[in-house]
Amino acid sequence: MFKPFVALALAGLVGGVAAAPPGGGATQAADGSCPPLLARSAPNLLTDEAVPLCQFKGKVLLVVNTASQCGFTPQYEGLEALYRRYKDRGLVVLGFPSNDFGGQEPGSGAEIARFCQVNYGVSFPMFAKTAVVGPTTSPLYRELAAQTGKRPQWNFHKYLVDRNGAAVASFDSAVAPGDARITTQIERLLAAR
């Protein structure tokens, strides 16, 4: 059983998923529609309840497949720093734990949430374990790969999505979240209206 302070922290970790992301409400398209990439839902990390991704329309998104037992796992720290740095300007990091690469995410949703909170203070939205490659690839990851021409080759692959819901860049696992290749594009996308 979680200690009370850990349980409260975990509620905060996934709380951003069910409500509008920090930094104000989402910008709607002129016709009120949702961009095709975001016109779907993803299961909440702790409850598996469907969360509409359309709540993130109008935001710049960094979509990342994560794992708790990977050599790149310390990137959680950089992802959280990036989220805190830019969230008030409209960036949302979306974490999708995946067990597709060497069984490096074997835990339950509660175990993943606790690991992320206790070890890295993760506060950005996290979703339930997701297939990002192979025959059961989630529709979101199929579309991200189609739009960028790149599928994840390992954990912590990053996709950058603009405010219009189009995937505009793909970064391999070895590219750290704070790398100028990522931050320069985030700055450019955040400045665009």
Would you name the residues annotated as active-site residues? 70
Read out DSSP for the chain?
A: ---HHHHHHHHHHHHHHHSPPSSSPPPPPTT-PPPGGGSSEEEBTTT--EEEGGGGTTSEEEEEEE-SSSTTTTHHHHHHHHHHHHGGGTEEEEEEE--TTTT---S-HHHHHHHHHHHH---S-BBS----SSTT--HHHHHHHHHHS---SSTT-EEEE-TTS-EEEEE-TTS-TT-HHHHHHHHHHHH--
